[in-house]
Structures are given as C-alpha cells and as structure tokens.
Amino acid sequence: MQRLIPTGEAARPVAFAEVPQPVPEPGEALIKVEAFAPNRGETFLLERPRPDLLPGKDIAGLVVQAAADGSGPGIGARVVGHPAQGGWAEYAAVPTHSLAVLPDSIDSARAAALPLAGITALRLLRTAGSLAGRRVLLTGASGGVGHYVTELAVGAGADLTAVTATPVRGERLAELGANVVHEVAAAQGPFDVVLESTGGPDLPLALSKMRPGGLLVWFGQASRIPVTLDFFQLLGGPERVTIQHFHYAQAPYHADLSALVSLVEQRRLHPEIGRITDWAQTADTLVDLRERRIRGKAVLLTGGAP
C-alpha cells in the first residue's frame, strides 16, 4: 500500500513510499483511510523527524477488519479515528478506544477535520470551566482549534474576542459570534479567561488584559518565540492570575470523538475546511499550513479531489 513518510526537507516534508499493510494489534481495527487532516503540531514534528515517525493522527474511513478482541465497530462501519500515528496511508490500524462511528450525514472529509483540533477544543473548554457570561480572549483563532473553540464557547454563552492576522481570516469567526481583532493589543479587556497559543510577546500582553484572579490556559506557541514574563509587571496589573499549561493528549478518545460527531450531526458544530484536495498535494498543503496560508482545517482525500 501507499504511505506518506517524512523526508526531513522543509519544502517537501513528506513523500510516498510503497510499504506493507499494517497488522493490527488485538484491540485495533484496520481502517481503509478515505480522508485525513494534518495539524500544525505535526508540521513541527516533520522538521526534524524521528527515524520511526509515521505521521498521521486524524483520519476517517471504512472498517475493513474489526478488532480481534471483539471491541469497537464491525466490518463495514464508517468511522472517524485518532491513531497515535500512521494515518497518512491507504490503511491504518487504530485502537478501538480512539474510534467513533459516523452517521450517513457526515462525510469523511468533514469527519477527518474533527479529531485532534476538536478534542483539543472540548478539553480546553472543560479546563476553562463554565463560560456562561464570561469574557474570553482566544489567540491563534483562525486555525483548526480556533474555529471549534469559538463555536463551542459562544454556544456556551461566552463573550469571546478572537485574534486573527487579517479580517479575511476572521470572517467566519465573526459569523460564529466572535468579536474579531487583529492584534492582542487591540483586544478590550478585562478577560476572565485567556486561551493562548501563539507565545512570544502575545502571552504577556494577553496576561496584562486579564481580571485579577483570572485563568490563562497556555496551549501552544505557534510563533515559535519563547515567552518572557516579568513578575513585577503583574503587581501593577492583574494579580493572582493562574497560568495553566495544557496538553490535550490522553487516550481514550472514543467518548470525545462521539461527542464531536454528535455535535456536528445536530448542526451545533461546523468543521471549517479551508482546503480540501487529493493526497498527492499533501507536501504542498503541509507547507501552506506551516506558513499560515490555510484558514481552518486542511483535508486530504485518498480517493481523489472532490
């Protein structure tokens, strides 16, 4: 079968290789992959790939072999999955605790856009606590995670300010109910909660716009610039703030995947797909994702462009 493997080259981060089909463990189902979606964090891993790296965490497709231990969906079920790796291939072995069954109303492209970004959004919002009537600042908002966080937080009653590079990148977020600004400096505080993923100078600036005792959840560093904080600046500003480091990754994912599928089915969550194309275009798409040229999610199809 065909699989995309890392090259270590910035201009073409992956290339096709002919490899044997994976052999599932007893708790894994074999999925024929119809669509997959890359994430910003995966583009970082591809810069200096470990020798054993098999990229691909977000997939949707068809169960062609059910798990030998009897768990999970049966043969023929349409599923969305979040394997630890190996999803950018014609077939992937996925633990059944990281699969959810899809209804007919959700196609594979929209489903593949869900796992990592959607689970991150759900878990971020749980970390933030109740958002009803609370003021929230979200940085790096135009990406995959940002669109899901915005729709779910506004739906939960938050007054959300989203930071995007340009008005065009904020258009859909505004439709979803966000106040959109184009730099953290322009955001009108004070905020109860900050969801920060760009790092560099943005984090201390966002921190200075919080109310005393507020919560800043730090979940990324898209700018690649480390953060510098000055203890004494906070004495003149919002004291007693909490900064919480966040990482979404903790299996099992079945329950959160099922929740995302259900929200999409009920039209309470809408995957925002900025690019959908054939998986022959994966290398170019990864470069464009890394260089901020894609709004929302990018989805690659193994069966040809739509």
Ligand X SMILES: NC(=O)c1ccc[n+]([C@@H]2O[C@H](COP(=O)([O-])OP(=O)(O)OC[C@H]3O[C@@H](n4cnc5c(N)ncnc54)[C@H](OP(=O)(O)O)[C@@H]3O)[C@@H](O)[C@H]2O)c1
DSSP strand E in 2-144: where? 2-6, 14-18, 28-36, 59-65, 78-81, 91-95, 99-101, 135-138
Largest CA distance in the chain: 62
With CB under 6 A as the contact rule, the residue among 50, 126, 247, 267 that binds ligand X is 247
Does residue 145 interact with ligand X by CB under 6 A?
yes
Residue 13 binding ligand X, by CB under 6 A: no
211 neighbors 190 (Cβ within 8 angstroms): yes
Kindly state the tokens that stand for 264.
Answer: 């999409």
Site string for ligand X, 254-283 (x = CB under 6 A): ------------------------------
Q: In angstroms, give the least distance from the CB of 164 to ligand X.
A: 4
Alpha-helix runs per DSSP H in 91-201: 108-112, 115-128, 144-155, 167-175
Q: Which two tokens stand for residue 167?
A: 């008005």
Other CB atoms within a 10 A radius of the CB of residue 47 amount to: 12
Please report whether residue 216 would count as binding ligand X according to CB under 6 A.
Answer: no
Residue 246 binding ligand X, by CB under 6 A? yes
Does residue 40 touch ligand X according to CB under 6 A? yes
C-beta of 90 vs 284, nearer to ligand X: 284
Q: Reduced to 3 states, what is the DSSP secondary structure of residue 148? A: helix
CB nearer to ligand X: give 165 or 259: 165
Task: Report if residue 146 touches ligand X, rule: CB under 6 A.
Answer: yes
Interaction between residue 82 and ligand X (CB under 6 A): no
289 binds ligand X (CB under 6 A): yes
Contacting range for ligand X; rule: CB under 6 A; set: 105-113, 139-147, 171-179, 232-240: 139-147
Q: With binding defined as CB under 6 A, does residue 72 bind ligand X?
A: no
For residues 24 and 271, which CB has a smaller minimum distance to ligand X in the complex?
271
CB under 8 Å to 64, separation ≥6 — which residues?
30, 31, 32, 75, 91
Say if residues 161 and 181 touch (Cβ distance below 8 Å).
Answer: yes
Q: Contact positions toward ligand X, by CB under 6 A? A: 39-41, 116-117, 120, 140, 142-146, 164-165, 169, 197-198, 219-220, 222-223, 246-248, 289, 292
